Chains A and B, each alone.
Chain A
Amino acid sequence: MGPRIEMRGIHKVYPDGTVALRGVDFRLGPGEIVGLLGENGAGKTTLMKILSGLLQPTRGEIRIDGRPVRFRNPADALRAGIGMVHQIFTLVPPYTALENIILGQEGSNLWLVKDRARDQVQRLLEEVGLSIPLDTPMELLPIGVQQRVEIAKVLYRGTQTLILDEPTSALTPLEVDELFRFLRRLKEGGRSIVFITHKLREVLEISDRIVVLRNGRVTGEISTREATPELLAEWMVGRAVVPRVSRSPHPPGEPVLIVRDLEVIGDLGLPAVKGVSFEVRAGEIFGIAGVEGNGQSELAQALGGLRPIHRGEILLDGKPLPALTPIEAYRRGIAHIPEDRLRFGMALNFEVAENSILSRQWEPTFLRGWGRLDWPRILAFTAALLQRFQVIAPGVRAPARSLSGGNQQKLVVGRELAKEPRLILAVHPTRGLDVASTAYIRELLVQMRDAGKAVLLISADLDEVLELSDRIAVMYEGKFLGVGPVEAFTREEIGLMMGGIVPQGRAV
């Protein structure tokens, strides 16, 4: 039997020039579960968004049962029997499960057809073996059940090919087991499933075949029976040797930051950081690698005073920190290069000068009596900042919007480094930047290290972590799977840990 779905030579270039896919072939047979494995930005989600009609490929073709097709939107794909369950749910919280499932299919009036639809939905749920309380509002249901509703919604539209994007990221282990049982049953019923994940153990457990993506290319494809975690990890992270940035060889000093048994609650109300302990010394860069969404953001936000600490403690220079606010964190010597400058780090419609004091606007240095801003001083400060950190801007009073992405980030990084901090919290500091800005910012971080600052680098870019760090940790599902000097790990071992598997002979 030939494949049900075949994607050939798929290229995708986003309008902003980012190349997401560079010629990917992908096929899927009936009754098959394919695991699509890769790091952040490998192109997994993009590829599947193309298959489900959400994105158009720049080049390449899709065939279904041998016939070429072109999906203009998700409705087209659904008509062809392909449906995707996204990482972020698309449910209406006050509506019941039943209403959510039939929403958009109900014709003119949701409430008129509800009873008719109920039987159909019941039958479908029995057929596939899902149990959902149909009359409970979504907002009262746990995440695992919400996900079932999300899946039922897609199946109700007659889907034969189900795409699941990181479906286990918010689930408890028990819910994961249930999900897997359910997926096997779907498969036995003849449906095909694409399972997007970065978790090695899961993909080995549930799939029949595994396709690994890296940097927009397929780096490996293997039947699951023959796959080993080591092989997959290598495909996932590559084996390139990263050149180390030159740095002054000096022994690190005293610990500046000590974190003990830290637990932080995420946006879904579940623990996102589950008891991590580490220290960052003066004059070292401590890098945290890992696939995004494993608790790194929450950890950084907790250290930056943006998220409360649930349990554990944070010591700075040996003194325990109280409940932190962003201002308190700064006062105690923490500079925070936030993970997303556009979301947290700046206001695009604010002037460059206004952005250069963002998070310092309360400081007496920049104020005169009665809470007035000391504009002459702010403008002088900005001019000096632009010069010191090589930020190219039309002027100190130009809107930040008029700067290139690289210069915006240099402005944010410069602003934080100018705080003369003890500890620098750098989260994805070079994401999406051009080569020159990336190199410059990395150089700055090493300079800070050489100057005796403690640097905590959190990055989803493994190369960056390996290039800059003195010591590293790999974060997975809210925990550290390995901590040690960067030389102590092979790239393959790190890849394994990013996928959730601790290499043989390594205890945490």
Chain B
Amino acid sequence: MRRARPLLESLVAVGIGLIAGGALMLPFRYHPLKAYQALFQGAFGTPHDVMETLAFATPLMLTAVTFAVGVRAGLFNIGAEGQMYIGAIGAVFAASLLPLPPGLHILVATLVAMICGALWSLVPALLKIWRGVHEVISTIMFNWIAFHLATYLAIYYLAEPGRAERTRPALPTARYPILAEGSTLTAVIFVAILFCLAVYFLLWGTRMGYEMRLVGENPEAARYAGVQIGQALLWSFLIGGMAAGLAGASQIIGRPPAWSLYATLGNVATLGFDGIGVALVGRNHPLGGILAAILFGALQHGGRFMEYHAGVVSELVRAVNGLIVITLAIPELWTLVRRRLTL
């Protein structure tokens, strides 16, 4: 019962968000029901659409974990974006340059990406633990450093000969299998879901997770309980970094047709920031994040159909989506704000 309450609240929020979005469409003389029907059918109407929706959801559930695992430990870690770039670069490197046998190659490329993401979170983590540097500041800075570093590496070292707009594609041995002909959904989604499940289990089923959550809930009580606070924070950063790194990899070795990183980083950009919204909608819970990511995926994929079936202009589609997301994020945002105010 009690556990179901956040889910219920989120469902109510979805309803309110849809109504608000509908209200926004009315003055522009669009038909909200028709538009939503197009949205829903676009997102879930055919098996192919469901798979596209899930393909959009895959990286988002991971970057949501980055934020959620931070919040659980009392951090406001918004470094998923940068950690994901570095993870993507790591994946490109391992997938396109290392000649490895099938199977092993996927594994190595995935792990390299996760380690790269974790390493990129290490400096903000240590700055926080040793010097008390606020993670919002340091992770924003590291996002920019990552952006330029990734762009540089993509153009100067990893560019595909003759096609400077993108990196070398992943070798076929490093590509996750596509789940259905013509779809962009690959088996990487299983890895992503598995990772979310693992984080869920870690947070609520292990001593380490208990201590991380205790640090987030009440750092003084954590000290009283003998928790090494620095260690708990470090793990929160590193697990978040691994999630973001995996999100980066999912776009390189788990997303046709490019199988590579664009030099503009266009095929990964903003996935990390979107994860913050996904995490809020998912109530900072790794499993809630999966559901929220699917919702986001549906809005992204289905939104296109709103445009050409219900004729809603694309700007309004985005506004409606944004409105729904904001409404959804309010319950969790409110708890976060309230916690800041009362402490």
Contacts and interface: CB of A to CB of B under 8 A. Distances in A.
Given A347-B217, A398-B2, A359 B208 contact: no
Interface in B201-225: 205-208, 210-211, 213-214, 217-218, 220-221, 223-225
B214 A325 contact: no
Given A371-B206, A371-B208, A373-B205, A326 B226 contact: yes
A338 interface: yes
A349 B223 contact: no
A219 interface: no
Given A347-B214, A349-B217, A367 B207 contact: yes
Q: Which of B205, B206, B218 has the most CB of A within 10 A?
A: B218
A454 B150 CA distance: 63
Given A361-B211, A373-B206, A373-B207, A347 B221 contact: yes
Q: How large is the interface on B (under 10, 10 to 19, 20 to 34, 35 or more residues)?
A: 10 to 19
Contact of A362 (B213, B220, B224, B226): B226
A347 B207 contact: no
Nearest to A358: B225
A344 interface: yes
B56 to A, nearest CB: 32
B221 A358 contact: yes
Given A306-B224, A343-B221, A347-B221, A358 B214 contact: yes
Contacts of A358: 214, 221, 224-225
A258 interface: no
A323 to B, nearest CB: 13
A359 B225 contact: yes
A373 B210 contact: yes
B9 to A, nearest CB: 16
B317 to A, nearest CB: 38
Q: Which of A338, A343, A344, A347 has the most CB of B within 10 A?
A: A347
A325 B226 contact: yes
Contact of B206 (A306, A343, A347, A370): A370
Contacts of A44: none
Contacts of B220: 343-344
A287 to B, nearest CB: 22
B225 A326 contact: yes
Contacts of B221: 343-347, 358
Contact of B218 (A347, A398, A399): A347
A171 interface: no
A343 B214 CA distance: 12
Contacts of A371: 206-208
Nearest to B335: A349
Contacts of A354: 210
A136 to B, nearest CB: 23
B207 A362 contact: yes
A453 interface: no
A350 B203 CA distance: 13
A345 B224 contact: yes
A94 B107 CA distance: 51
Q: How large is the interface on A (under 10, 10 to 19, 20 to 34, 35 or more residues)?
A: 20 to 34
Contact of B225 (A349, A361, A367, A372): A361
A340 B69 CA distance: 28
A362 B211 CA distance: 9
Nearest to B208: A371
A336 B208 contact: no
B206 A350 contact: no
Q: Which of A349, A358, A362 has the most CB of B within 10 A?
A: A358
A344 B223 CA distance: 8
Interface in A334-388: 336, 338, 343-350, 354, 358-359, 361-362, 367, 370-373, 375
A330 interface: yes
Nearest to A357: B210
Contact of A338 (B205, B208, B224): B224
A327 interface: yes
A350 B217 contact: yes
Nearest to A344: B224
Contacts of A399: 2
Interface string B63-104: 000000000000000000000000000000000000000000
A375 B205 CA distance: 8
B224 to A, nearest CB: 4
Nearest to B227: A361
Contacts of B214: 347, 350, 358, 361
A325 to B, nearest CB: 6
Contacts of A306: 223-224
B226 A330 contact: yes
Contacts of B210: 354, 361, 373
A325 B220 CA distance: 14
Given A347-B217, A347-B218, A326 B223 contact: yes
A325 B227 CA distance: 10
A455 B218 CA distance: 27
Interface in A387-428: 397-399
Interface in B198-255: 205-208, 210-211, 213-214, 217-218, 220-221, 223-226
A358 B225 CA distance: 6
Contacts of A397: 2
Nearest to B209: A373
B224 A359 contact: yes
A306 B222 CA distance: 11
Given A343-B221, A350-B214, A350-B217, A372 B205 contact: yes
Given A350-B217, A358-B214, A326 B206 contact: no
Nearest to A347: B217
B206 to A, nearest CB: 5
A372 B206 contact: yes
A337 to B, nearest CB: 11
A428 to B, nearest CB: 15
Interface in A210-249: none
B134 to A, nearest CB: 16
Nearest to A366: B207
B45 to A, nearest CB: 41
A312 B189 CA distance: 60
Contacts of B206: 370-373
A22 to B, nearest CB: 29
Contacts of B226: 305, 325-327, 330, 359, 362
Contacts of B218: 343, 346-348
Q: Which of B2, B208, B225 has the most CB of A within 10 A?
A: B225
Contacts of B211: 361
Nearest to B3: A397
Contacts of A348: 217-218
Contacts of B225: 326, 358-359, 361
B181 to A, nearest CB: 41
22 contacts: A304-B224, A306-B223, A326-B223, A326-B225, A327-B226, A338-B224, A344-B224, A345-B224, A348-B218, A349-B217, A350-B214, A350-B217, A354-B210, A358-B221, A358-B225, A359-B225, A361-B225, A367-B207, A372-B205, A373-B207, A373-B210, A397-B2
Interface of B: 2, 205-208, 210-211, 213-214, 217-218, 220-221, 223-226
Given A397-B2, A399-B2, 8 more contacts: A346-B218, A346-B221, A349-B217, A354-B210, A361-B214, A362-B207, A362-B226, A373-B210
